[in-house]
Amino acid sequence: MGGSNAGTDRLTNGAAAPAWDRFAHWGPWPARALLAVVAVLLVLAALTPLTVRMDGTPADVPNMALPGASAPANDAAKPERDEDLAFYDRIIERIEGGENYYDFVVEEQRARNYPVRPGATVRLPTLAYIHAWLREPGMIALSIVLMLACIWAWWRRLGDEPGGSRMQRIGAALMFMGGSLGLNRSYFVLHELWAGMLVALAFGLHRPGRWGLALAVAALALAIREHVLPFVLLMGAMAAWRCDWKEAAAWAALVTVFFAAMAWHLAQVTPQVLPSDPESPDWLVLRGLSGWLGNIVLSSNLRFLPHEIAGPIVLLMALGWAGWKSPAGTTGTFLYLGYGLTFMLAGRANNFYWGAVVAPAMFVGLAFLPTALRSLVRSAR
């Protein structure tokens, strides 16, 4: 009887486990160590407030968290527009009026006492021009098309990846859950919202050996928000790791073009900046776990949950990605842990919307969470 049970354990935890189930092939001690780390992090995540600064004072959480909550009593039908969103509205309005972006953007930021030093505080003009050209009806149509494209891309990618076909339905549903904020027209002026959906689409479209369309979509995302650069660098690094030098060179060329475009952008902005202009506070603030969890939670639909639940869910998403041994799973693990580390080191509490750059497709990791946890526990035993 004892020999039979041992053989069953080996069959469950060993050679019979599918190759894509990463944790099923781990030894007991690595599995126990990871389980211990996950358990500690889940407790810390549940105890970590997601809306405070390092000094303990309340953070500035704009209407993205509570739309319309600050509407004036005498105008309840018209919610007050967040100051940042109103600023972007004004930029688009002036472009629609025929003005050149660089002729007025520094002036507009200065008028609101927004930092204009360094020049990188002035956003790239791509999204403002797209919005001005398409107007709101066009942006609504574009958001629907982009959402459907993301769901379709992830349906296809899950079907093409080892272990993914059994997760297609739930994975597509999770992609919709993660990206549905992009359908809210109140936030169409937010650069991170569009950049994040385009990153999700590029990730879903990418295949080793078939990367042209993913590169084009990522290029548009990078033109909207420079925070997409780590994703582009990761895709290039993964191509180099596969020894696909043609793809690696294409991603490197995109990085080169981006830096050239940023240099031109700064050349337009810098001559207008005065020594007396406000300077941006330091972005390197070392917020720790609250930086990673807060950015993802507050810039996604997890914001409706208590932080004791929402924070641990972010960690479980990452664990699900880590348990999926496939090209997508490996890339996703590096992508979300890499951005998580970045958010722990950089970005103030009121920069939480940076999380929207990676939040949409991160939800797909929950599809693989049950398998990852089950295999991790079995391997640990």
- pLDDT tens digits along 338-349: 999 999 999 888
Gap between the Cα atoms of 46 and 49, Å rounded:
8
Average pLDDT, rounded, for the chain: 88
Of residues 119 and 188, more confidently modeled: 188
Residue 261 has what pLDDT? 96
> pLDDT tens digits for 177-207?
999 999 999 999 999 999 999 999 999 999 9
Q: Where are the alpha helices (DSSP H) in the chain?
A: 2-13, 28-47, 83-96, 101-111, 126-160, 168-179, 191-205, 212-224, 229-241, 245-269, 289-298, 307-323, 327-345, 359-362, 369-380
Instruction: From 65, 36, 26, select the one nearest 304 (Cα to Cα).
Output: 65
| The pLDDT of residue 52 is above 80 | no
CB atoms within 10 A of CB 252: 16
Distances (CA, A) of 64 to 39, 68, 85, 266: 31, 9, 10, 29
| The pLDDT of residue 35 is above 90 | yes
Beta bridge partners of 346: 284
Query: Is residue 290 within 8 Å of residue 47, measured between CB atoms?
Result: no
Residue 81 has what pLDDT? 74
Beta bridge partners of 324: 21
Instruction: From 86, 117, 99, select the one nearest 269 (Cα to Cα).
Output: 117
Instruction: From 171, 169, 220, select the one nearest 199 (Cα to Cα).
Output: 220
Tokens encoding 233: 């660098």
Q: How confident is the model at residue 281 (pLDDT cuts 50, 70, 90)?
A: confident
Above pLDDT 70, what percent of the chain?
Answer: 88
> pLDDT tens digits for 202-261?
999 999 989 999 999 999 999 999 999 999 999 999 999 999 999 999 999 999 999 999
